[in-house]
A and B are shown apart, each in its own frame.
Chain A
């Protein structure tokens, strides 16, 4: 549609954006559409007699509507809402869409009608929002009227809601209900105000109760609205820092239905995955049972199975994870590596972790393998065991070894044993006395000493395997081979640089464990079909804007390394939005270019 909305930050389905009309509105935002100065105006119900709105190109006008309650029978929704009203003259429009509707006419803004009744109805909330977002343009806005409260706001934003209002906080104030982000209280039940907003710091619950109704309710409404605004600012900061998921995981505990919303949303993996960046600058906290279902964790394991190929070695050494990341820098892993010693060239090291699953040594730098933290108690619940066991099973079905040495203890060992039994394999266990005891380390050493075989790799090859594996992880199976063929690694771990003679092809970025290509490196993927962005015939400088994108690989995610190809242009850069979004958005940076070159046409 029209270029009024630009998304500037993304974190999963949540986003921060700029709505530019007669002034700028930063989203997610709280609006009051019944006020004249609102950027969004309601033409009103077709059943009412509203004063006509003056044509204004600087407003979004919600088209005349017949809004229906949530549980209206489907036949009635069809009969009453399907007669589309002819409309003209509006530059920017909003459309009211019933939560159970299945048709989404083009619009700048969608208002989820009767959204208020979606409170306490997790399934309907998740379904209606996901269906709407999957059937409308990425840069259209979503407004859920009369639903937001301080306690549910983070979940709404997490699902991709851009606009809310303070209708409920105001009405709750008029019902003598005091809102916080952890729930609501009737004023009568409060002994002290937990908040220090302008209203609460100057009053007590007892004092407020004695005020006349009008004054009292206005003050309560004001507190409630302030609380909503405060929560919104908190949420926006969490989006910027990449911590919204962690915040939502704890905020949803305020009420069971919100926890249900999180779980149901996690079940919609595709919806979340296509919006989740390749990496974040922040630590991933896996604090809850829902953390296990995070896209970042599921996607990592999916790529290990689908994109990763183990080096050709006969012996696998399974190791436990460590608190310090990357694992190889931890004291325990240093001990393992020392114990393996000179036999390291014959063995392949793979780390077992909860919640991440299976991490081949080559991928230990990648987000989130080196970027997560999780509570360690020694106790693993059934879901963790099933998940990690499943990962190990899939890994061993794909990658075959002659010998498996499992230097693991406790729950790790129990998981190994169950997979071993299931697959009919024979593991050698070497850590009966704990993984770092000298007896165990000795046993590890002696187990791997029997691993000598023709299949081995030198330390240079091991380094090259790392870049190779990361390239496959980022671009798909086969890309690593194309880029690393005939090349060597320079510079020490973890700042590897990939060279072919004098020509630098790539650099390992230790912070996220990803590989950044040079133009020469990217040229090696010229005929490789994936992670490409094609642009129109122009010469970009430092960025590619979304409207300039002609084609983009739909599997591109924010922060992915992408190859940009134009008629006379070839470059490499970092995606700022998903590939499917590049094609839909009318505004915003699609790719930050790192290196580029004019190409003879």
Chain B
């Protein structure tokens, strides 16, 4: 399959920096929602061998992974380091690995069980969310996890879109909507909630097609996920998206498109928590508008994510909104090109 070959070809040309094996790739504290109220969140990105699939057009997280598989002790040191960073009295923990938390090749069964049981014992931790591809979500792994943790647990899956053709042609994700649904069903059987990550504007889609894809994805995903997080595609180094961006073939989504998606999405799925973290907003490589209104729109998106109140979008306006509307209307008729930068 040449698509995969191309992604690998691009990957092979990147320089990879190395981190000490006993430090996580990144840790930060942010804000999130739990049962309708704001709460602190501790996000940890463990340094593992990285994603086994490693073929997606937009993903540059692979460069964060370790060259040598970290040992159990390394991973536990990463864990301890991360846990020491949060000073809040109550928080939720979001675990990422630049891959799948439930892939035994990245995190060994024993290590995973030890992490989860220590999180279970830590009374500050109110909920744990862990990201994984759906193929690693099995009944066996979930029952071990649930009994080790003993508190609210959620699996987060990068579904990207409910449209199988887009996921295959534009993202090269390597699984189908039904794989996601099956994983969700297994999770529910074990009392584990599901969070779905969607991707606004993968390569090849026009601005309008990208918005429509997200609105129908929210509607089709909401029966299978309690929380939907809409990622606004940003241009990560060493990806096909990056190559296309550099050649003038790709423009990240407008922030107005994100607003449109969140408004319409919330209308379609009022019972689902819909959120979005506009990473890199306002920069050429991130989701952006005209440069004047980006900060305001991005912060409205962050507020919406915490409050679920689409009213925050009402006051927003800018001269570039008219241009954005025209782009949405006309970009399909370029038959492949982006209309404006």
Chain A interface residues (CB < 8 Å from chain B): 33-34, 42, 44-49, 65-73, 75-76, 78-80, 96, 98, 111-117, 145-146, 165, 167, 170-171, 174-175, 213-214, 217
User: Which residues of A have CB within 8 Å of B163?
Assistant: 47
Pick from B1, B2, B249, B333: contact of A167, CB under 8 Å: B333
Choose among A47, A111, A146, A214 the residue with the greatest number of B CB atoms under 10 Å from its CB.
Answer: A47
Interchain CB contact under 8 A, A47 and B170: yes
Contact status B166-A114, CB under 8 Å: no
Contact yes or no, B333 A34, CB < 8 A: yes
Please tell me if the beta carbons of B250 and A69 are within 8 angstroms of each other in the complex: yes
Chain A contacts of B314 at CB under 8 A? none
In the bound complex, residues from chain A placing their C-beta under 8 Å from that of B247 are: 69-71
Once the chains are docked, how many angstroms separate the CA of A117 from the CA of B336?
9
- Greatest chain B CB density within 10 A among A34, A45, A70, A170 is at A45
Beta-carbon contact of A116 and B337 below 8 Å: yes
Apart from A42-B333, A80-B169, A96-B336, what 11 extra A-B contacts exist at CB < 8 Å? A44-B332, A45-B332, A47-B205, A48-B208, A66-B204, A67-B204, A69-B337, A167-B339, A170-B330, A213-B322, A214-B322
The answer to whether A117 and B322 touch across the interface, beta carbons within 8 angstroms, is no
Establish whether residues B209 and A171, one from each chain, have CB atoms under 8 Å apart when the complex forms: no
- Interface assignment of B3: CB less than 8 Å from any CB of chain A: yes
Which of A42, A47, A175, A214 is in CB contact (< 8 Å) with B166? A47
Complex interface: chain B residues within 8 A of A67 (CB): 204, 334-336
A170 to B5 CA separation, bound complex (whole angstroms)? 40
Q: Judge if B269 is at the interface, Cβ distance under 8 Å.
A: no
CB pair A171 B3 closer than 8 Å = no
Q: 8 closest pairs, A vs B, by CB?
A: A114-B336, A69-B249, A67-B336, A116-B337, A71-B247, A75-B2, A146-B334, A113-B335
Give bound CA distance, A82 to B66, whole Å: 38
Docked CA distance A79–B338 (Å): 21
Contacts of A214 in B (CB 8 A): 322
* Nearest chain B CB to A427 CB, angstrom units: 58
Note all chain B residues with C-beta closer than 8 A to A71: 244, 247-249
A114 touches B340 (CB 8 A): no
CB contacts under 8 Å to A, within B167-224, are 169-170, 204-206, 208-209, 212-213, 216
B319 in the interface (beta carbon within 8 A): yes
Looking across the interface, which residue of chain B has its beta carbon closest to that of A168?
B339
Does B165 reach chain A (CB closer than 8 Å)? yes
Question: Given A47-B163, A171-B327, A217-B322, A70–B337 Cβ distance below 8 Å?
Answer: yes
Name the interface residues of B1-17: CB closer than 8 Å to any CB of A. Answer: 1-3, 5-6
B219 to chain A, nearest CB (A): 11
Inter-chain CA distance A34–B333, complex, in Å, is 7
Residues of B within 8 A of A (CB): 1-3, 5-6, 163, 165-166, 169-170, 204-206, 208-209, 212-213, 216, 244, 247-250, 319, 322-323, 326-327, 329-330, 332-340
CA distance A69 to B1 in the complex (A): 20
Q: How far is the CA of A140 from the CA of B5 in the complex (A)?
A: 37
Name the one of B204, B250, B327, B329 contacting A47, with C-beta atoms under 8 angstroms: B204
In whole angstroms, how far apart are the Cα atoms of A116 and B206 in the complex? Answer: 14
Residues of B within 8 A of A111 (CB): 335
Which of B1, B170, B332 has the most chain A CB within a 10 Å cutoff?
B332
Q: In the complex, how many angstroms separate the beta carbon of B114 from the nearest chain A beta carbon?
A: 43
B332 and A48: CB pair below 8 A? yes
- Check B169–A66 contact: CB distance below 8 A: yes
Q: A76-B2, A174-B323 are in contact. Are A49 and B339 (CB under 8 A)?
A: no
Contact (Cβ within 8 A) A47 B332: no
Inter-chain CA distance A49–B212, complex, in Å, is 8
Select which of A34, A66, A175 is within 8 A of B330 by beta carbon.
A34
Residues of chain B lying within 8 A (CB to CB) of residue A96: 335-336
| Cross-chain contact A114 with B204 (CB below 8 angstroms) | no
Say how far B274's CB is from chain A's closest CB, in angstroms. Answer: 20
Known: A174-B322, A217-B323. A33 touches B170 (CB 8 A): no
Taking a contact as CB atoms under 8 Å apart, the answer to whether B332 and A174 are in contact is no
Question: Which residues from A are CB-within-8-Å of B3?
Answer: 75-76, 79
| Least distance between A131 CB and chain B CB atoms (Å) | 17
Q: Could you list 10 A-B pairs, sorted by A, with CB under 8 Å?
A: A45-B205, A45-B209, A47-B166, A69-B204, A71-B248, A79-B1, A113-B336, A114-B334, A146-B335, A171-B327
In contact, B333 and A47 (Cβ under 8 angstroms):
no
- B208: which A residues are within 8 A, CB to CB? 48
Q: Which residues of A contact B212 (CB under 8 A)?
A: 48-49
Query: B163 to nearest A CB, angstroms?
Result: 7
Q: With a CB–CB cut-off of 8 A, which chain A residues contact B205?
A: 45, 47
Q: How far is the CA of A70 from the CA of B327 in the complex (A)?
A: 18
B209 touches A213 (CB 8 A): no
Q: Contacting B332 at CB < 8 Å: which of A34, A80, A98?
A: A34
Complex interface: chain A residues within 8 A of B337 (CB):
69-70, 114-117, 146
What residues of A have a CB within 8 angstroms of the CB of B249 in the complex? Answer: 69-72, 117
Also in contact, A116 and B339, with CB within 8 A (given A34-B330, A47-B209, A76-B3): yes
Q: How many Å from the CB of A67 to the closest CB on chain B?
A: 4
Cross-chain contact A98 with B336 (CB below 8 angstroms): yes
Cβ of A77 to closest chain B Cβ, rounded Å: 10
Are B6 and A75 touching (Cβ within 8 A)? yes
In Å, the complex CA distance between A217 and B340 comes to: 15
Whole-angstrom distance from the CB of A349 to the nearest CB of chain B? 58
A114 neighbours in B (Cβ, 8 Å): 334-337
Q: Which of B6, B216, B339 is A171 in contact with, Cβ under 8 Å?
A: B339
Shortest CB–CB separation between residue A545 and chain B, in angstroms?
Answer: 34
- Whether A175 pairs with B340 at a CB distance below 8 angstroms is yes
Q: Knowing A34-B329, A68-B204, A72-B249, say if A47 contacts B335 (CB, 8 Å).
A: no
Chain B nearest CB, measured from A186 CB (Å) = 14
Given contacts A113-B335, A117-B337, contact A170 B209 (CB under 8 A): no
Select A165's contact among B204, B333, B339, beta carbons within 8 Å: B333
Known contacts A75-B2, A213-B322, A217-B323; A69 and B336 CB within 8 A of each other: yes
Tell me which residues across on chain A come within 8 A of B332, comparing CB atoms: 34, 42, 44-45, 48
**A residues less than 8 Å from B209 (CB atoms):** 45, 47-48
Q: Which residues of B contact A146 (CB under 8 A)?
A: 330, 333-335, 337, 339
Q: Which residue of B lies closest to A48 (CB)?
A: B209
Residues of A contacting B335 with CB < 8 Å? 65, 67, 96, 111-115, 145-146
Q: Once bound together, how far apart are the Cα atoms of A73 and B172, in whole Å?
A: 15
Q: A69-B337, A113-B335 are in contact. Are A75 and B5 (CB under 8 A)?
A: yes
Nearest Cβ on chain B to A83's Cβ, whole angstroms: 10
Contact indicator B330/A167 (Cβ below 8 Å): yes
Contact A47 B213 (CB under 8 A): yes
Distance (whole angstroms) from the CB of B5 to the closest CB of chain A: 7
Enumerate chain A residues within 8 angstroms of B1, measured Cβ to Cβ. Answer: 79
CB distance from B218 to the nearest CB of A (A): 14
CB distance from A118 to the nearest CB of B (A): 9
Residues of A within 8 A of B333 (CB): 33-34, 42, 145-146, 165, 167
The residue that A69 contacts in the complex, of B165, B244, B327, B329, with Cβ under 8 A, is B244
